[in-house]
Amino acid sequence: MKLFWKFFFSTSIISLFMFGLGSSIMINTLFQSSLKQEINYSFNENDILQTALNNELTRIYQNSNTSNTGKEAVSSFTSESADNLIINALTQIAISTSNGSIPFQISNSNYITVYTTSSLNYDNKLIKLLDNGTRAYEVTSLDNRYYIRVACPILFAGENYYLETYKDITALFQIRENQFQIFFYSVIGIIGFSFILIFFVAYWLTKPLKELANSAIRISKGDYDLPVLQEGYDEIGLLTRAFNQMSTSLRQTMTELEASALRQENFIASFAHELKTPMTSIIGYADMLRSKKVSQEQLILYSNNIFKEGKRLEALSFKLMELIVLKKHEFQMRTVSASHFFETVQSVITPILKRDKIEFITKVAEMNLQLEPDLMKTVCLNLLDNARKSIDVNGRIHFLGNVEKDGYCITIADNGKGIESDEISKITEAFYMSDKSRSRATGSVGLGLTICSQIIEIHHAKMLIESVPGKGTCIYIHLKESKPNENI
Amino acid sequence: MINILIVEDEKNISDLIKINLMEAGYHCVCAYDGKQAADLIEQNNWDLILLDIMLPKINGYELIEYIKPLDISVIFITAKASVTDIVKGLKLGADDYLTKPFEIIELLARVESVLRRDKKNNRILEVADISIDTFSRLVKRGEDTITLTLKEYELLLLFIRSKNIALFREQIYEKIWGDDYMGDSRTVDLHVQRLRKKMGWEKYITAVYKIGYRFEVKP
């Protein structure tokens, strides 16, 4: 069931129930109080009638007593004559109210009606239940009309008579009926009105939900570039905000995943290429050696090719191992003095630079560094070696250490041929070689800077490359100051 | 003479291809990057270009766009071996696709088949004292026709294409019968011996000890 219908049904059922309950309580209370009033009236009428009747009967009784002797009189009063006396008396009584005369009837002790002013036929159940000296009433209906019937006993000449008065209260019931009818029509009106009202309210409430649902469907279909949804301040607004956050973070995650998948794919493609190239030579030359008659000179040439390419594969596998170790292994950082670290690097690189007649300038500011010395040495040697390779003649390499306000900066600057600006972002990519043939000739496999950037990452450091083609390259390694003995 | 341009940045591989194609009787020129290749394509007439994809300066995909209007056959020789790469290469207009690493006889066979499709090969192959009409599949010595079965004919062509190359039994089996060599099969020996006998080529097709056979003719 749709939320709209749920909302509609629950709201209409609740409102109808409450309205119905309230209305019927009100109608009934009104009716009951009116009825009570009517009953009081009836009792009053009954009282009046009873008093009048009693007076009349007492007068008649005294008259007859004066005309006869006491004992005779009493004994001469048979039930029949008493009945007749009452009937005589009653014909003289007429009590009028504003609604005309009050209808009444008299029954004798045998519950037989002896006199009546109304044309209505009633049973005598009520007077049968009546005790001496009590009054009773009941509400009865006869011929679609409602009456209050009040009964009281009258003692006359030692006989019990019963006086019953009636009051027509059909109007009261009609009012109640009218009220119920009004109630019924208003219920229909309320249903109609609430339908329209709830329709708009539900539409207004469920509109953001629908938008959310549509967005969720689009996301599930792989469309992550969604516009940000409008956020309200209610619970749905909270949901929308949460949804927006979710879709934003999802989008980020997807972009990252795509990027990493692309990197992975590129890595594998490059790796396959780097693997297959030496393999092609090895297999090809070996194939020639095994299937052709070759001269001694060719034999040496071909096997040398196989050997060189084999070496290249070896270098590639070692570098890859190094990279894998860097990714998997956890390294312990140590405190090393900057001067000591620079000295160890210098001692390795100086002879090579001297051989190539490259001027080497070092300047170290003292500071205690937190690093893995062997790894950082690899980085520096790699970068220095790259600097060396980029230099043709009159080379100069600066190797500097400076204290910065939140760490330490190692700078390696050369005056070599530099890097094209569009290549700078690519040079740390695995297997990227700016000058393939020259790199291959020097035995490079294109993983050096990848390893360097991996090590830099392990140190939570930053590597910045600035280069002007033809002028030289400058590489900054920003080491952050970290607390001693921190495991990274 | 058929002119083949080899575009490959790796000198060892380039040399390998060149040596083998030269020995098979083609004329070869090597280009080591895309730009050099483009210049050479412009300057000379080529029957076939062997093209690497990952090239410095201009890559193979860009280069083939340039070659296509010139109506020169192209075989990609590349380390990119995934189906999508192969499909991409062929869709761009390559005539064939050879993935690295490759065997020499495969290289020769593909070059031969592309040239045959272009009808740039000689219709009549003349080897030793035999002439072969590759269209009508007729093998003749002088005026006498030599009747060969289908497998024998294919075997003959394989030997002629692989002059002076020792063919291993498994290579022969795989090329002619198309199945994986199960070892120890006498099929190859039986067919080679029958072919030798029919052609009278006992001195040309020589057995190589423990390996297979070699078709020896002076270049």
> Which pLDDT score, from 0 to 100, does residue B183 have?
66
Confidence of residue A306 (pLDDT cuts 50, 70, 90): very high
Do B54 and A293 make contact, defined as CB atoms within 8 angstroms?
Answer: no
> Which pLDDT score, from 0 to 100, does residue A443 have?
64
What is the tens place of the pLDDT at every residue in A188-236?
A: 888 888 778 877 887 887 788 888 888 888 888 877 777 777 777 788 8
CATH number for B124-215: choose from 1.10.760.10, 1.20.140.10, 1.10.10.10, 3.50.50.60. 1.10.10.10
Do A281 and B80 make contact, defined as CB atoms within 8 angstroms?
Answer: no
Q: Which of A78-82, A223-227, B5-9, B34-38 has the lowest mean pLDDT?
A: A78-82
**DSSP secondary structure letter of residue B70:** G
Give the whole-angstrom CA distance, residue B135 versus residue B116.
10
Do the two domains B3-117 and B124-215 of this chain adopt the same fold?
no
| Pairing of β A96-97 and β A100-101 | antiparallel
Using CB atoms within 10 Å of the CB of residue A100, give its burial: 0 to 12 exposed, 13 to 18 middle, 19+ buried.
exposed
pTM of the model: 0.57
Looking at residue B188, its amino acid is V
Q: How far is B170 from chain A (nearest CA, A)?
A: 13
Q: Supply the ipTM of this predicted assembly.
A: 0.75
State the CATH architecture for B3-117: 3-Layer(aba) Sandwich (3.40)
What is the tens place of the pLDDT at every residue in A237-252?
A: 888 888 888 888 888 8
Query: Taking CA atoms, what residue in A is nearest to B101?
Result: A280
Mean pLDDT of A361-390: 87
> Which pLDDT score, from 0 to 100, does residue A437 have?
59
- Reply yes or no on whether the pLDDT at A77 is more than 70: no
Do B13 and A279 make contact, defined as CB atoms within 8 angstroms?
Answer: no
Confidence of residue B50 (pLDDT cuts 50, 70, 90): very high
- Reply yes or no on whether the pLDDT at A71 is more than 60: no
Chain A residue numbers touching B104 (CB-CB < 8 A): 284, 287-288, 291
Mean pLDDT of A268-281: 84
> Which pLDDT score, from 0 to 100, does residue B6 have?
93
- Reply yes or no on whether the pLDDT at A486 is more than 50: no
What is the tens place of the pLDDT at every residue in B58-104?
A: 888 889 888 888 888 899 998 887 888 889 888 888 899 998 888 88
- Between the ranges A73-82, A302-311, B121-130, B137-146, where is the mean pLDDT highest? A302-311
- Reply yes or no on whether the pLDDT at A142 is more than 80: no
Mean pLDDT of B146-157: 87
Chain B residue numbers touching A288 (CB-CB < 8 A): 16, 19-20, 104
Do B10 and A281 make contact, defined as CB atoms within 8 angstroms?
Answer: yes
> Which pLDDT score, from 0 to 100, does residue B206 have?
87
- In chain B, where the domains are located: 3-117, 124-215
Confidence of residue A435 (pLDDT cuts 50, 70, 90): low
- Reply yes or no on whether the pLDDT at A367 is more than 90: no
Closest CB to A281: pick one of B9, B12, B104.
B12
Percent of chain A with pLDDT over 90: 4
Give the whole-angstrom CA distance, residue A85 versus residue A157.
10
Domains of chain A and any CATH numbers:
3-177 (3.30.450), 224-328 (1.10.287.130), 330-480 (3.30.565.10)
